Amino acid sequence: MRSAITICLVPEARQGPFVFHDGLELGCRAAAEVGFDAVEIFPGSAADVPVDEVRRMVTAHGLSVAAVGTGAGWVKHRLHLCDPDAATRARACEFIAAIIDAAGDLGAPAIIGSMQGRTGEGVSHDAALAMLADALGILGERASRHGQPLLYEPLNRYETDLFTAQARAATFLELHGLHDVKLLCDLFHMNIEEADPAAALMAIGDRVGHVHWADSNRRAMGMGHTDPQPIVAALRSIGYTGFLSAEIFPLPTSLDAARQSIESFRTFAT
Ligand code: LER
Ligand code: MN
């Protein structure tokens, strides 16, 4: 497994669960100094990820790109995949597709988390799931052209009513033949929604595509009450070799959170 840490390029997401907020260059420098293998980028849009420049920057610091988030489509533009208006849904898809292409050129997958949406006015739960399946099909195919999976992230109940449990999401992907889509397993959300996070990881096996390495309170692993040992044992037993990426609050400071994350990574995952 490899370590990664989040860099947020979106001022509106300053209060979000991201460690570094002072631009890509400073974020990469800090990530490399603390000892991470990779960075996970949360851009305002694909325009924030100029491929050649980002590649040069991460490579200069001996890093790679673990994944690129799409949540700014929701945070900044209120775009999501279950909007009742087809034209707005199409814009949401275009926003994500552009990030899939930039991430793909950087050898990384894109994440659908906050942009998945939820049941809403004029959109029943079944209709929302049908919209989600359609979008994941189109966008998963797009990701596969880059040799990347598309990462779909079940969230906790306060952020979506589509999928909150990993096993149900995995069954949905299976039923719809969405073979290009893998699951992003965020240990913060799983702490809320899963009876046994380690067992949930074992049950979905090779659908695990990425892991957000966060403690129960969304602080760095070791600052809450999650026991990472059975979780890492489960990931090993399913043969997971991807990233453990610190999508966490920068508390008490960005640097403290980064150092605690890498320490927990080294203690439990290497
Ligand atoms: C995104 O990765 C996520 O976990 C959501 O809770 C948005 O913050
Ligand atoms: Mn997450």
Q: Report how far ligand 1's centroid is from the alpha carbon of 242 (Å).
A: 18
Q: What local confidence, expressed as pLDDT, does residue 181 receive?
A: 98
What tens digit of pLDDT does each residue of 111-161 get?
Answer: 999 999 999 989 999 999 999 999 999 999 999 999 999 999 999 999 999
Domains identified in the chain, total number? 1
Phi, then psi, of 151 in degrees rounded to 5: -100, 120
Q: What is the pLDDT of residue 121?
A: 87
Q: Does pLDDT of 97 surpass 90?
A: yes
Strand 208-212 and strand 243-246: the pairing is parallel
Eight-state DSSP code of residue 46: G
Q: What is the pLDDT of residue 222?
A: 98
Residue 182, SS3 per DSSP: strand
Domain containing 132 — which CATH number? 3.20.20.150
Q: What is the dihedral of CA 124, 91, 105, 148, to 10 degrees?
A: 20
CA atoms within 13 A on the CB side of 82: 24
Contact in structure between 110 and 68 (CB atoms under 8 Å): yes
* CB-based neighbours (< 5 A) of ligand 2, an ion: 186, 212, 247
Give the mean pLDDT of 14-28: 98
Q: Which residue has the tokens 């899939």?
A: 100
**pLDDT tens digits, 34-83:** 999 999 999 999 999 999 999 999 999 999 999 999 999 999 999 999 99
Q: Output the residue whose Cα is nearest ligand 1's atom 1.
A: 113
The answer to whether the CB of 113 is under 6 A from ligand 1 is yes
Count of positions (residues) in the chain: 270
pLDDT value at residue 134: 98
Distance CA 56, CA 209 (A): 25
Domain of residue 139 covers 2-269
